[in-house]
Structures are given as C-alpha cells and as structure tokens.
Amino acid sequence: MSKLIATSVVRGSNQGESHGGVYLIDFDREAVNQVIDWNTTDIDWQGRGWDRGLRGIAFDGDRVFIAASNEIFVYTPQFKKIASYKCPYLMHAHEIMVHKRRLYITSTGFDAILGFDLDNNEFCFGLHLVDIEGQVQGRPFDPKSEKGPAPSNTLHVNNVFCSSKGLFFSGLRTKALYMFNGKTIQRYARLPTGIHNARPFREGVLYNDTATDRVRYIEQEQQFSFEVPQFDPGQLTHAKLDDSRIARAGFGRGLCELGGGLVAAGSSPSTIALHDFDRLKTVKTVNLTMDIRNAIHGLEVWPY
C-alpha cells in the first residue's frame, strides 16, 4: 500500500503555537512521521484558517512543492527547503497541481488560478474567475503585471485538477465543477455549495461534500458516499473554543487516488480514511491527532 503525504491547518491556534505541519503516513504500519512543524509569527491571525498552516502539495522530479497562504515553498524529498516563490496575486492559496510543465495554484483570495512555469521558475499565467448571472467566466491576466484583478473571495475557488481534457476547478460557492479547455469555460457537473476537492473520477465526479460530512461520488442519476470518520466528543481536545465556527470535527478536505479503486480522504481532527470504491467499504483509518483544531488540507500519494 502506498505512503501518503499530508499537510494540516490548525484553526484557532495562538501565536507561539504550531499552526500546521507536513506528515508522511505509512498505512501498512499505521505509522505517522511529522517532517515539518509550521510555526511562524509572520502570518495573519484573523479567525479560521487565514494564513495558518500548509495547503496543497505537488511534485516535479525531485522537487516537492507545498503551498502556504501567500507563498509556494520548494523542498527536496528529504524536506530541505531549497526555494520559495511569491506573487502579488497569490492570497490564501489552497490546492495545487502539476500539469505539462506548469504548477497550477488556486489563489482563493483573488478568485483566481495562477500558473507557475516549472522550467523558468516564474509565475506565467493568471485566470480571474467571475460569476456572471450564475455562470462562471474567466478573464486571463499577466501575474507579473500591475493590471491584475483586485482581491476578492466571491466563489472561494479552492481546488484545481488537470487532465488531458482540460483544467478543472471548483470551490465552496461555484455550485459546480467547471472545465477550462484553454479557450472557454464550461460547466462539467452541477454540485452543492460547501464542497472541496471536486474532480472527474471514473464516469462521474468525486468530491468532499464538506457541508454534510461525506465523501461523495455522483454519476448521472446515481450516487453513493462514505461517512467522514466520527469520534466520541469526550476524546477530542481543544474543543472549548470561544467561536464554534473556527473548528469542528468531521470537516472533510483532502482527496487522492491510490489506484485499484482506493481513495484516501482527509478530515478533522486530522484523520485519513481509506475508501474502497469497488467494495464500497472504508477499509482503514489513521488518526494523527485528536486536536479538533487540526484539519487535513493537502493529501497526495508520496512518490519517493
């Protein structure tokens, strides 16, 4: 069984505390190794996740790319930091993905998707997403120009996924999975609000239905789902927060395919469940912590 890499965001953490990290998870041994503890004072401490924690994960050769809120960090497979990159249009980054010599990044704070040239190590593409009478449209821009879009978070675009068909994107308020073919944007599938990690899967669409605490698959008129792992409230730590909106158990985010019908899904408190889509069964779960504030964000198969 594959090893996984996961990032986490600690919602509601205080200055001086860890607010996320990077973990390697061996499902065969049910072993967890934290390889990065993210703790910096140079962040925005306004509610919920904001600048805290680490987000999307992607790979290019022997480079590991990990997104923070407004910066892309590059590590070796041994987690030695070798570079980092910023862009004025990168704010509250979420998921990232490598496709055809570009790293695509969701810039949630600008309702945009950015492209980073992996050969020249520079931002080279920008697509600002706007809702026009219920249909999402894209406006290309140069991320190196001063004439880009103003900050906005209308759609809360949080996921990008690429295939030979095109670039797919979705968010909490897109109400659909959209596909960009390089020229036009088309609605690929209608989805509910409050989702994460939507992507084409088999003959349908797979996503974290975060609002209902389920991992859901839809195909034409049929659908099935897996429940996010639940825990006895008495086992949870840091549950007595002043603002209940900051953190909650069962918050589902992070998906990756392992092959053979297996899909890994993340949730809070940081837990990864392995679902078998052929047998329609959850076959294993690994819990990283019982801290209710600690939520999985990025989740990928570890390729090294």
Q: How far apart are CA 109 and CA 289, in angstroms?
A: 29
pTM over 0.75: yes
pLDDT attached to residue 12: 54
pLDDT attached to residue 68: 92
Instruction: Sketch the domain layout of the chain as residue ranges.
Output: 3-301
156-199: pLDDT as tens digits? 999 999 999 999 999 999 999 999 999 999 999 999 999 999 99
Query: What is the average pLDDT across 97-102?
Result: 97
Q: Who has greater pLDDT, 54 or 119? A: 119
Please say whether the structural domain 3-301 has been given the CATH code 2.120.10.30.
yes
238-287: pLDDT as tens digits? 777 644 455 688 999 999 999 999 999 999 999 999 999 999 999 999 99
